Amino acid sequence: MSASHRCAIQVFLLLLLFAAATALAEATTFMRMSLAQMSGSARMIVRARCIAAGAIWDSGEIWTRTTFEVAETWRGASGSQVIAVRLLGGTLGNISSRVSGIPRFQPGEEAVLFLEPSANGDFSIVSWQQGTFRIRRNPRTGEEIVTQDTTSVAAYNPVSRRFEPSGIRRMSIASFRSLVDVALAANSPASDSSRKP
Number of helices (H) and strands (E) in the chain: give both, helices first: 3, 12
161 belongs to a structural domain: yes
CB 187 within 8 A of CB 36: yes
What is this structure's pTM? 0.78
pLDDT given for residue 29 in this prediction: 54
Residues 105 and 111: beta-carbon distance below 8 Å: yes
| Residue 3 forms part of a structural domain | no
14 within domain boundaries: no
Residue ranges of the chain with per-residue pLDDT less than 70: 1, 4-30, 78, 189-197
Cα separation of 43 and 45, whole Å?
Answer: 7
Give the C-alpha distances (Å, rounded to integers) separating 126 from 9, 44, 56, 138, 175. 44, 10, 21, 27, 21
Give a yes or no: residue 10 inside a domain.
no
Please tell me the predicted confidence (pLDDT) of residue 142.
Answer: 94
Establish if 192 belongs to a structural domain: no
State residue 5's pLDDT score: 59
What is the domain-level CATH number for residue 173?
2.40.50.120
Domain count across the chain: 1
The whole-number pLDDT of residue 187 equals 85
Q: Is 117 part of a structural domain of the chain?
A: yes
pLDDT of residue 83: 96
Residue 18: predicted pLDDT: 42
Q: pLDDT at position 151, please?
A: 87
Domain encompassing residue 78:
28-187
Helix (H) or strand (E) holding 154: strand 154-157
